[in-house]
Amino acid sequence: MIQRSTRLDAVHYELCGPIYEKAKELELEGHRITKLNIGNPAPFGFDAPGVVTESIINNLRHAQGYSDHKGILPAREAIRDYYAAKGIAGIHTDDISIGNGVSELILQAVQALLNNGDEVLVPSPDYPLWTAAVRFSGGKAVHYLCDEASDWNPDLNDIKSKITSRTKAIVVINPNNPTGAVYAPELLQELVELAAAHNLVLFSDEIYDKILYDEVEYRSTATFSDEVLTVTFSGLSKNYLAAGFRAGWMLVSGNKAKARSYIDGLNTMASLRVCSNVPAQYGIQAALEGYQEMQDLVSPTGRLRQQRDICYEKLTAIPGITCVKPKGAFYLFPKIDVKKYAIADDQAFVLDFLQEQHVLLVQGSGFNWHQPDHFRIVYLPELQELSQTMDKLALFLQHYKGTGIAAPRQLTESL
């Protein structure tokens, strides 16, 4: 038998895992599945801003060849200006790399840093690509606690207790996926000071930095220090509703002089894939410099804000479900009373719900959460569909008692 690499043994991405495969199976049988498993705006009627698509179309003739391996200059200049306006100092266009979405760049940034056995502090719950990237790179993902009782803020004492001589970096996801938390400037300052004290690289995942509600205060992590080496990630997929364009970027800031070797590694990683998707790069300048349509969507009368509110209200009205109201992104991470519903395995729970009500969620353990008592909901469907979907969940839970229609192991083996 031809075997897969053992590097993949501890690598998981449950957003497209066994439950997702079961959903595709049900679709082939003729069932319509409401897919609340992944933040993909297009299927729910969201379009990228017209200026973005027009810029890509108008520049197709110029996008037929390879670009510079870091990306076209106008796009990198626009990214530089965007972050300079936020207050990040000393940015040069060479500090910016454009990739095929942030996912590719996360893998590059982690692989260029880690040796076997190196440790990275990753939040729990997390966006699971971070844990997967660390493990695939031969490193150890050490999960620090985000405290639900404190609006899902990182537990600084827990972080401090987990720093060792092998710790190389800390990951900050802000606004957070899956919880929707937005971190206060005072908390970010403490995280930056902690990174400085231990000479850690700060990976700041800011892909949702425009999706903010209730006038919450937001600052980019890199604005707090000119000394801490910070790698900031963002792109078009969420803020500009263009997930399929696969246009992301990362910015290296802080004390770059002490990180020349690492930066050279990043350059090598970028050059190995020649360049990222060139047509989509022509949408970046138009996106960053054009009218910010996301501001309308997150306003009190905006579609995303209204969808967040109705989803939160209907969820928390269900007996046995509580939830911290998200301040950013487009996810909720509710907690379910596992004793009330006799839930011992969260994957079995979401599978049961999928098979009975044809709604696809992701279990909390898929985000490296340590208890079977959470799940994530994507609130991208329009109000009526979203409301009906929450009604389906309420109906399902009226009679649910951990029936476990298919155990996770059996499910995996059947696929």
Residue 280 lies in a domain: yes
Q: Which residues of 285-316 are buried (b: 16+ CB within 10 A; e: fewer)?
A: bbbbebeebbeebbeeebbbbbbbebbbebbe
In angstroms, rounded to a whole number, what is the distance separating the alpha carbons of residues 79 and 281?
11
**154: containing domain:** 50-289
Residue 336 has a pLDDT of 97
Cα 39 from chain centroid (whole Å): 9
Residue 10 has a pLDDT of 84
Q: Is the pLDDT score of 411 beyond 60?
A: no
* 289-324 confidence digits (pLDDT tens): 999 999 999 999 999 999 999 999 999 999 999 999
Residue bearing tokens 């509703």: 241
Residue 1 lies in a domain: no
Cis peptide before 125 (omega within 30 of 0): yes
**CATH code of the domain containing 388:** 3.90.1150.10
What angle (nearest 5°) sits at the alpha carbon of residue 346, between those of residues 313 and 329?
A: 45
Q: What is the dihedral of CA 204, 375, 10, 134, to 10 degrees?
A: 0
Residue 413 has a pLDDT of 40
Q: Is the pLDDT score of 182 beyond 60?
A: yes
Residue 158 lies in a domain: yes
Q: Is the pLDDT score of 404 beyond 60?
A: no
Q: Are 338 and 347 in contact (CB under 8 A)?
A: no
In angstroms, rounded to a whole number, what is the distance separating the alpha carbons of residues 360 and 20?
7
Mean of all residue pLDDT scores within the chain? 94
The mean pLDDT value for 47-65 works out to 96
Tell me which of 1-5, 133-137, 172-176 is least confident.
1-5
Q: Are 233 and 205 in contact (CB under 8 A)?
A: yes
Q: Is the pLDDT score of 403 beyond 80?
A: no
Q: How many residues does the chain have?
A: 415
**Side chain identity at residue 81, one-letter code:** D
Instruction: Report the candidate in 393, 362, 345, 285 with the shortest Cα–Cα distance to residue 59.
Output: 285
Residue 325 has a pLDDT of 98
Q: Is the pLDDT score of 249 beyond 80?
A: yes
Q: Are both 135 and 228 inside the same structural domain?
A: yes
**CATH code of the domain containing 253:** 3.40.640.10
Query: Which residue among 263, 289, 315 closes a domain?
Result: 289
Q: Is the pLDDT score of 409 beyond 80?
A: no
* 131-148 confidence digits (pLDDT tens): 999 999 999 999 999 999
Query: Which residue among 289, 313, 331 closes a domain?
Result: 289
* 69-95 confidence digits (pLDDT tens): 999 999 999 999 999 999 998 999 999
